[in-house]
Chains A and B, each alone.
Chain A
Amino acid sequence: AQKITQTQPGMFVQEKEAVTLDCTYDTSDPSYGLFWYKQPSSGEMIFLIYQGSYDQQNATEGRYSLNFQKARKSANLVISASQLGDSAMYFCAMREGPNSGNTPLVFGKGTRLSVIA
C-alpha cells in the first residue's frame, strides 16, 4: 500500500485565490512527521512546511498552512492568495518513527499546480 497518496495529478487556480492540495498518508507508527515540498520548473526541491504527529496546532508558514486531520490521516496543504510564482509541482512526504533522521522520507507522486492570471 502506498504510504503517501496525492490524488490530484494537476490543479488549476485563479491568481489571488486559495487552493488546497490533498495528501493522505498511511502509517501505524504513532510518531511521524509530514512535509510539503515545492518543485518549480527549475527542478530544485524547496521545503515549505512541516507537521509533527504530536503537534497540537496546524502548522503555518506565511501563505502556506497545513490542514492536519490526524484521525482521517490527511495533511492537506493550503496556499492562500495564490501567486503566479506558485505554479510548480508539490510533493507531500512522510517520515515515520521517533525523532531521528534515520528513517527514509517517503514521497507522494506529486500534484502539479498551475496558477492562472
Chain B
Amino acid sequence: EAQVTQNPRYLITVTGKKLTVTCSQNMNHEYMSWYRQDPGLGLRQIYYSMNVEVTDKGDVPEGYKVSRKEKRNFPLILESPSPNQTSLYFCASCRAGLLTWSYNEQFFGPGTRLTVL
C-alpha cells in the first residue's frame, strides 16, 4: 500500500530535549516536505526536499532541522524544542512531475501531535 508514515503519532516532551520525528514514504517520491498546522493559521511549510541531499527552507524553518540521506526518509529534528513548537506536524511526499501537474498530488502522513511543556 502506497503510504507516508510518521512516528511517533503523539509526543509530549519538555523544553530543550532534542527530538526527532521520522517520516518515510514507499512511493519512490523525489519531493518530500514538512508542515505544521496551527489553529487559525492553516498549514505552513517548514522544510522541503527535492531529492536526496537537497533540502530547502519553507515558510517557518526556525528551530527545525531536516536531513535527506535516503530517498524514502525525511526526518524532522528539533534540537531544542520550545513551547511555541507545540503543533500538529505533517510530512508529505510527491513525485517531481515532468509531464503534467496532475501527477503532483501530495500524499500526507497521518500527522504527529507534539506538545512541548
Q: Which residues of chain A have a CB within 8 Å of any CB of chain B?
A: 33, 35, 37, 43-47, 50, 52-53, 91, 93, 95, 99-102, 104-110
Q: B108 touching A45 by the CB < 8 A rule?
A: yes
Q: B110 touching A99 by the CB < 8 A rule?
A: no
Choose among B42, B95, B105 the residue that contacts A47 (Cβ–Cβ < 8 A).
Answer: B105
Distance of A106 Cα from B42 Cα, bound (Å) = 9
Q: A105 touching B101 by the CB < 8 A rule?
A: no
Residue with the greatest number of chain B CB neighbours at <10 A, chosen from A35, A95, A105, A107:
A105
- Closest CB in chain A relative to B26 CB, distance in Å: 17
Choose among B33, B45, B104, B110 the residue that contacts A33 (Cβ–Cβ < 8 A).
Answer: B104
Q: B45 touching A104 by the CB < 8 A rule?
A: yes
How many B residues touch A, CB cutoff 8 Å?
Answer: 35
Q: Which residues of chain B have a CB within 8 Å of any CB of chain A?
A: 29-31, 33, 35, 40-45, 48, 50, 58-59, 88, 90, 92, 94-102, 104-108, 110-111, 113
Distance of A110 Cα from B99 Cα, bound (Å) = 29
Q: B50 touching A99 by the CB < 8 A rule?
A: no
Contacts A46-B108, A47-B105, A101-B30 known; 9 new A-B pairs at CB < 8 A = A37-B108, A43-B110, A45-B92, A52-B102, A91-B43, A99-B99, A104-B33, A107-B35, A107-B43
Distance of A81 Cα from B61 Cα, bound (Å) = 41
CB-CB < 8 A to B104: which residues of A? 33, 95, 99-101
Given the known interface contacts A43-B88, A50-B102, the answer about A108 and B59 at a Cβ–Cβ threshold of 8 Å is no
- Closest CB in chain A relative to B31 CB, distance in Å: 4
Q: B106 touching A99 by the CB < 8 A rule?
A: no
Distance of A46 Cα from B16 Cα, bound (Å) = 33
Residue with the greatest number of chain A CB neighbours at <10 A, chosen from B29, B33, B97, B104:
B104
Q: A101 touching B110 by the CB < 8 A rule?
A: no
Q: B41 touching A109 by the CB < 8 A rule?
A: yes
Distance of A105 Cα from B107 Cα, bound (Å) = 12
Q: A47 touching B101 by the CB < 8 A rule?
A: no
